[in-house]
Structure 1
Amino acid sequence: MLKNSKNPGVSWLFKMAWRDAKASYKKLVLFMASMVLGIAAVVSIQSFSENLKDNIALQSKSLMGADFIIDSDKPINKRVQQIIDSLGGAQGSEISFASMAAFPKVNGTKLLQVRGIDGEFPFYGELETKPKIASTNFQKNRSALVDATVMLQMGLKSGDSIKIGSTTFPIEGSLKSVPGSTALFSSIAPPVIISQKMIEQTGLIQTGSRIDYKYYFVADARQDMDKLDEKLDPILDTEDADLDTHKSTSERLGRRYENFGRFLNLVAFIALILGCIGIASAINIYIKEKLPSIAILKCLGASRKQSFLIFFIQIAGMGLLGGLIGSIAGVFLQQIFPLLLQGLLPVEVEITLAPKILAIGILLGLLMAILFSLYPLISTFYVSPLRALRIQLDQSLRSKKVAIIIFLLIFIFVFLFSYWLLEEWNYAFFFVLGIAITFSILAGIGSLFMKLIRKFFPASWSFVSRQSLLNLYRPQNQTLVLVITIGMGTFLISTLYLTKDLLLAQASVEEQANSPNLILLDIQAAQKDSVANVIKAQNIPVLENIPIVTMKVESIGGISADEIRQDTTSSVNSWILNHEFRTTYRDSLIASEVLEQGKWIGDVSNQKMIPISVSNNFAEDAKVSVGDTISWNVQGVLMNTSVASIRTVDWSRMQLNFSVVFPKGVLEDAPQFRVLTTKVSDDKTSAKLQQELVKRFPNVSIIDIRQILGVIEGLLEKISWLINFMAFFSILTGIIVLIGAVRTSKFQRVRESVLLRTLGARSSQILKIFAMEYFYLGFLGSLSGIVLSLFSSFLLARLVFETAFSPNLLPIFLVLLMVTFLILIIGVTNSLSVIKSPPLKVLRKKLG
């Protein structure tokens, strides 16, 4: 009997746990490794997100170039000017708009964002130029700073010229970076900076031109940005202006990248859950092997609580160590994120240690290890001491009530952790539900496969083929665990790939014969026929000639916009009241629209109450339905309308869509400008047409949709590469679980190998048996994941993107082959030592 067996003390429990762990350390290390990967992924993303948020906050003034900005899309009125004066006047200002620019030296054109700057802007950060002196010389020399990438593309250098509108500017230098530019917009319309005094000389400020007016301020150090925003922003909103502080800008940017980080966190969290499922399965086998030892301990006087605690301490220690290693690995892993996200981040990220995230990683390792090991650990309570004296058949050694409690605890923990990542209860619930459904389907596929093999066992097959199938449902098989882990990893990678293809296919217009790929903006009413003639003269069709009339909401349902703004109980979205709508008129629906409610009216003669059609998102945000009235301010003229119909609009299509559409017979005489669309066959034709249009109509802006698609595709490639990189953790976790499963059941397989050799099987036959088994597992797991990804992508295509689903199956097929081959190699490599084990050594161990 154990000395003081009833109360041997905590130290004895730790000693026993340590001694047993040392004897089984190879198995425990592999169990821990599958958890380490998931923790490393979660910690790296969380830590990087924290660093990014901190860096955005620290560099918020440099991002904006000032402490705060007042901006408007029209010249400011007297009230806004009074507010600016009350703040001590703006220290700098800017007028900006998109426009085509010509480069006489190379006879080329390009859509650029023209920024006319006045004052010492930027007040934080700097205009990075080459040569450096160009950043201060361009205003006094009346020259231009041109985006460095554009200069490289066009083969330009300082001293060459750029023509903007009707004015030609010498190029003072190349512009490397400028506060206030976003990476996405800069890749479509790169910036060119000139003196604000020269803006009017370009002749580009005309009716319908989309022009932004910004006023930059340097605040007193004691100024509270939150109070300033709270006080002035509502007032400026009523005057068609807006206030942006450096603090609100950094918060907005932080939220934008937080959402992306949350998505990556979920991918990493799935890898962690897969690892924990691997742990649960491996511990289950590990504990089964330890049952005779537990029975002996009980014979010597150990209580069932003590035998339980010995292995509980082992698992807890493994969780703590795994959490620590995973957290440290995550800190190093985050160092590569700035490289993976190059071009997507708004700031240079300085990586620092985040103690809070490290602590969370360690705690996560402990909790996950304990929770996912409790179910197999509970069997130690029910081991009889008689097991040490006689062989017993395997039987259920767990209480169903306790099992339910454990599974409930796991569900609650996963849900709470998901909520911590997503910060939304409903998102967390659906995420956990989605994981449960996916895991259940994969588990169901594995179980069904094993049942089908048993029911329709191919008795006529060769010995090797039959034995490899038998191994899939032998005692201590790992079929379910490996199908789930391999299937989930493959599912993630395949779904992300197919979704990226859906996004690109939704945006692509190259294969659509009647879809435009050039859009001509800011065409004055008097120019529309001349511009159209230039296009037709080059044997290029004019696909659309769309009139645009700008207006604002004056009242909804007889209540003025000002009253609605002041009503704190109103649920009308503020953008409806503050937005300057660009509307059109026509007599029919277009391909991107579907009538949802009401009746389409395309032509009217009575203009007392004009029937209009609004998009469903407008109706939802404005809280209007068919029959409700809206009054519009059309550049000083009030126009009363009623909602005759509500449309569903496919905004993802690369064409001009409108929230509000008037019938013909109403707006023809209103001040307006035109948008023409056309389709060119190749880059050469496009360049020739753009050169001619810019030469004759410098105010016309041209958007090349193919260029936008190229930018979008590049961004999606970067994002999907990073997501796939994180999804690969799931596949890697599956591989480690596979290695752990092979190691854990190694003695079982050694005995099988000895018995097979005793019966006359050759080593080559046994190797083939193991190879075929792992081929089945790899193929079944990856095929299950791919089938699920095809189904989920089909649902996304039909329900979310509302488009046809025609996937490219070649890359998916390659994923199937690669994952299957990888599992086969890992399985066979780890089985070689099993085959080489001497039979006598195994038999002696068994007899002993």
Structure 2
Amino acid sequence: MMIWLRLAWREIINTPKFSLFFVMNIALGLVGFIAVDALKSSIDESLSGKSREILGADISVSAFRQLNPDEIARFDSLVPRTTRIAEETGWVSMVSAITRETQNVAPPARLMEIRAVDKAFPFYGEISFTNESGHDSQEKIFERMNVEPVAIAAPELFVQLELKPGSEVKIGDQVFRLAGSITNDPSTSSASFSIAPRIYIGQAWVAKTGLVQLGSRIVHTRKYAVTPGTVEEAPLEAKFKAFAKSRSDIRVRSHTSATDELGRILKFLGDYLGIVALVAIILSALGCNFLILAHIRSKIRDLAILQSIGARPSSARWIIGWQMALLGTGGSIAAIALAAALMPSVKDVLAPFLGSGIQLRMQLDSIVTALILGSIGTPVAGLPAFAHLNEMNAASLFREHEAPSNIRATQWFIAAIPAISIIFSLATWQARSIKTGLVFLVITGASILILGTAGFLLLRSIDQITRWLKKSGGRYPWPVMMALRNSRRSSQGLMISLITLGLCSALLSAVPQIQAILTSELSSTGNTILPGLFLFDIQPEQEAPLRQFLAIREIHSGPFSPLIRARLERINGKPVAETFDTIPGTQERRTEEQFKNRTYNLSFRARLSPSETLAAGREFAAGRFDPSLQEMPEISIEKRFSERTGIRLQDILDFDIQGVPVKGRVVNLRRVRWASFQPNFFVQFQEGVIDEAPRTSLCTIPQMDFDKTQQLQRELTREFPNISIIDVKASVARILSISAQVATAVTAMALLCLIAGIGVLTAITLQQSRTRAYETAIMKVLGASFTDILFRIFVEAGIVAIFGATCGLAISFGIAWVISVFLFDGVWVFAAGAATVPAAMITVTIICVTMLASRIALAAHPRKLLQPE
């Protein structure tokens, strides 16, 4: 064993150029992986912090009843003793103003969402508000809330009831003094909105309102803020849900699921970042395999001598294996050192986009992984190249400068199984999903197969072109013929180069397409006007007067969306509870539906809205429902709602609308872009079915300047006192800010990946140029001119670079489509321009580096090029 180690070390010393190229390839690939992982962790922490601010805790349990002592004790036992715990009570009620003008008349009142909190609220984030004296700290106000009857409320309450800080309002039997108007509340950062503005009071005053009585619909919540590093989030959430499983009225929420929209952002981002990190790893593995095979070619004579003096065929594998392991370890160490040196600069570059608070630092697990990949993964990645040694014998090895004999595809595949297993394990770990790992593995395998087929067709085409040039008898530059013959003669090298370049091009060109898909999913819908106000509880008889009211003021509202409360009774004739019990993996959704008492907001539309697209099935039949022409009313279901509940196309749903049974058949599934901030619903009927049911409507008002918005709210309140108005401009801005941060993050990730990929390709190209040095020297000795040799090299490099990059670009569109279907809910964006940039950069880089290296070789004396290294 030690003799092979000593020989491997001696080989490293004797081949400094190859060793440098190899270490550079490993370092560039792994530094990209380390940097990507550091950025990924930083972004995850940043967005996780935002999700914690929305929930105000790490995890919470809630129910429409108070938790009993046994339940509280059990939940508390699941968290470390250092965990902070807070109680919260919430309900919806009317809040009335108390002024001198209302002493003898009914006071003006508004529907409000009341949150009663204790002095520890909130654990994360900061609720800002203004009062007569300026700003007040959150700690002081929430402590005072539980001692004095004071409250802070959303600005809508002040505007609509014409109040100011210091005014008094009445909630139930208790009078509260308004201490301030909320200017920033992170917990309202959601693409879905409450039906009423929010007001905060102290937990100590809940009983004195007189509103907490038997039968009252009040949510009791217990929130937990876990000390960082004391427990892992996923197992803790699983323990909470496992205990709540037998109690269907208890709902468990983690900070990542605090809102559907932010939860989807985190999921998509995690999948995306995992994929990008894999690109850096797979590029490095491709580079390793290419360089190892090139090294084996250059050492044919040495290997022949070893076998001739009695060494076993396995000796070559041991020597080269130890050499690769040592070089891989050196590359890992170099990557870690380079990443540490570059981290401050990368942080400074990204700070304007991701915020100055970004903490970009190397993760211990990525450092350990880099060392393992370098020391163990490097020789494993070279196993397919080692397979060529099995077909060699001493006689064939003495034919100098001859490529190793070809191996069968089955041999190559068997040799590649360990490397494939490592890549799959890394894919699963990085993307935190077996599904993502499998998708990536299948995509990579299919891409190699396609590129291999394309390479075979290219070789056949070169044969045809060569024959045609011979038969034509015309005059053509001899360097072109020489380049074509060299490409055909070194078919194995061409295939390896083509597959390597094609995969690099495919993976790198897919990154900006995935970025475009993700950015499109998170951004607001193109031409959709973002709302500034949401109007709820619009009665049918108020729709026409409200339209006229807005038209007079030249305000164009969004369409009025009917809202009908209904209870889902049966699915395909089975009671809902039994149906959900038969759906595997829907316990969380089943608990949620039981928590909500299986009530839904229904609506009806003639066609899809601009924020909706058809995912499956067909659109509603033209016109209103006609029982003489249609067997059953038609229903449209939101796609993710269908996945959570198990409702499928052609299912028959039975609803109860205030005692009236309504039945319908599901004819399509819709994909809803919730980031449009427009009124959207999980369940929609076709027109003519539930139009006459008791309903209210809601609509949106576009964003306007501050003064006009304030004036409109006051006038709406006076003219339509029953309509609830919520100012969603701040919430929309916060969601768009998070989306913009994510979009910037994925752009940064794409750039890091592209830099790492170009670096690996540069190392491969330099090695290719070194292998051409001998051939170049022979041509110089035979009298070929500098220009002719350079042109021949340009044609050779151009054939592989252009064809490989073009094939990779074509494959990248398929990769992006597959990823959009399996990971991003089918959102597809054709970003040909963005995808062409990496492919063009790869082509130019390969040709330029090849030409530069060739010029260096051409400048050297032939005697120096012909002597052994």
The verdict on a shared fold, with TM-score over 0.5 as the criterion, is: yes
Residue 583 (structure 1) aligned with residue 601 (structure 2): yes
Deviation track 1:487-539 (CA, whole Å, cap 9, x = no partner) reads 33433343343344456667765558xx9977743142154333211332255
Distance 1:98 1:489 in 2: 60
**Number of the residue aligned with 2:809:** 786
**Number of the residue aligned with 1:320:** 329
Change (3 A) 1:541 1:360: closer
Deviation at 1:781, TM superposition (A): 3.2
Amino acid at match of 2:846: I
Distance 1:378 1:490 in 2: 26
Moved more, 698-707 or 55-64: 55-64
Deviation at 1:835, TM superposition (A): 0.7
Deviation at 1:21, TM superposition (A): 1.8
Deviation at 1:24, TM superposition (A): 0.8
**Number of the residue aligned with 1:551:** 566
Among 513, 517, 524, the alignment partner of 1:498 is 513
**Number of the residue aligned with 1:275:** 284
Deviation track 1:10-34 (CA, whole Å, cap 9, x = no partner) reads 3333222222221113212312332
Amino acid at match of 1:93: E
**Number of the residue aligned with 1:30:** 21
**Number of the residue aligned with 1:93:** 88
Change (3 A) 1:254 1:749: farther
CA contact (8 A) 1:493 1:728 kept: yes
Deviation at 1:747, TM superposition (A): 3.1
Change (3 A) 1:262 1:748: farther
Among 617, 621, 643, the alignment partner of 2:664 is 643
Distance 1:802 1:312 in 2: 44
**Number of the residue aligned with 2:159:** 163
Distance 2:865 2:648 in 1: 80
Residue 700 (structure 1) aligned with residue 725 (structure 2): yes
Change (3 A) 1:796 1:630: same
Deviation track 1:243-270 (CA, whole Å, cap 9, x = no partner) reads 44789989x9999857644543333333
Residue 673 (structure 1) aligned with residue 699 (structure 2): no
1:363-374 → structure 2 map (5 Å cutoff): 363-374=372-383
CA contact (8 A) 1:268 1:726 kept: no
Deviation at 1:482, TM superposition (A): 4.0
Deviation at 1:131, TM superposition (A): 5.2
**Number of the residue aligned with 2:109:** none
Among 294, 300, 305, the alignment partner of 2:309 is 300
Change (3 A) 1:719 1:94: farther
Change (3 A) 1:319 1:796: closer
CA contact (8 A) 1:598 1:626 kept: no
Deviation at 1:721, TM superposition (A): 0.7
Distance 2:115 2:409 in 1: 74
Change (3 A) 1:346 1:395: closer
Change (3 A) 1:433 1:663: closer
**Number of the residue aligned with 2:126:** 127
CA contact (8 A) 2:571 2:651 kept: no
**Number of the residue aligned with 1:528:** 543
CA contact (8 A) 1:770 1:828 kept: yes
TM-score by length of 2: 0.71
Deviation at 1:740, TM superposition (A): 3.9
CA contact (8 A) 1:123 1:218 kept: no
CA contact (8 A) 1:265 1:421 kept: yes
Deviation at 1:792, TM superposition (A): 4.9
SS at match of 1:700: strand
Deviation track 1:67-101 (CA, whole Å, cap 9, x = no partner) reads 864557xxx5xxx04749995999553659999xx
Residue 136 (structure 1) aligned with residue 158 (structure 2): no
Identity fraction in percent: 15
Distance 2:566 2:191 in 1: 25
Q: Which runs of 5+ in 2 are unaligned?
A: 77-84, 95-111, 129-133, 167-177, 212-216, 718-723
Distance 1:27 1:802 in 2: 46
Among 763, 773, 795, the alignment partner of 1:747 is 773
Among 823, 831, 843, the alignment partner of 2:854 is 831
Q: Which runs of 5+ in 1 are unaligned?
A: 1-9, 100-112, 151-160, 206-210
**Number of the residue aligned with 2:107:** none
Distance 1:316 1:589 in 2: 63
Deviation at 1:305, TM superposition (A): 3.2
Deviation at 1:438, TM superposition (A): 1.4
1:623-772 → structure 2 map (5 Å cutoff): 623=647, 626=650, 628=652, 630-632=654-656, 634=657, 637-652=658-673, 654=676, 656-662=679-685, 671-676=694-699, 690=709, 693-698=712-717, 699-701=724-726, 711=737, 714-715=740-741, 717-728=743-754, 731-755=757-781, 758-761=782-785, 763-772=786-795
Deviation at 1:324, TM superposition (A): 4.2
Deviation track 1:405-456 (CA, whole Å, cap 9, x = no partner) reads 3134444443444344456555433321211111222343344334323321
Amino acid at match of 1:533: Q
CA contact (8 A) 1:523 1:673 kept: yes
Among 814, 817, 821, the alignment partner of 2:844 is 821
Deviation at 1:145, TM superposition (A): 8.8
SS at match of 2:382: helix
SS at match of 1:302: coil
SS at match of 1:490: helix
Distance 1:396 1:450 in 2: 18
Distance 1:778 1:439 in 2: 16
CA contact (8 A) 1:583 1:658 kept: yes
Among 385, 388, 412, the alignment partner of 1:376 is 385
Deviation track 1:115-162 (CA, whole Å, cap 9, x = no partner) reads 856431426456376956465258679686999xx9xxxxxxxxxx97
Change (3 A) 1:628 1:645: closer
Deviation track 1:335-359 (CA, whole Å, cap 9, x = no partner) reads 75898599989997685752x5443
SS at match of 1:120: coil
Backbone CA RMSD of aligned residues: 5.6
Change (3 A) 1:33 1:612: same
Deviation track 1:199-234 (CA, whole Å, cap 9, x = no partner) reads 99xxxx9xxxxx996645579999999776554575
SS at match of 1:544: coil
CA contact (8 A) 2:60 2:222 kept: yes
**Number of the residue aligned with 1:613:** 635
Distance 1:217 1:393 in 2: 71
CA contact (8 A) 1:94 1:196 kept: no
Task: Kindly tell me the number of residue pairs found equivalent between the two proteins.
Answer: 776
Deviation at 1:800, TM superposition (A): 9.7
Moved more, 19-28 or 620-629: 620-629
Change (3 A) 1:480 1:94: farther
Distance 2:194 2:450 in 1: 44
Distance 1:52 1:808 in 2: 25
Deviation at 1:652, TM superposition (A): 3.0
1:36-47 → structure 2 map (5 Å cutoff): 36-43=27-34
SS at match of 2:159: strand
CA contact (8 A) 1:738 1:827 kept: no
Amino acid at match of 2:654: I
Deviation track 1:21-59 (CA, whole Å, cap 9, x = no partner) reads 211132123123323333344455557777888999999
CA contact (8 A) 1:66 1:123 kept: yes
**Number of the residue aligned with 1:537:** 552
CA contact (8 A) 1:611 1:643 kept: yes
TM-score by length of 1: 0.73
Among 405, 422, 442, the alignment partner of 1:433 is 442
Among 458, 463, 476, the alignment partner of 1:454 is 463
Amino acid at match of 1:583: N
Distance 2:796 2:770 in 1: 17
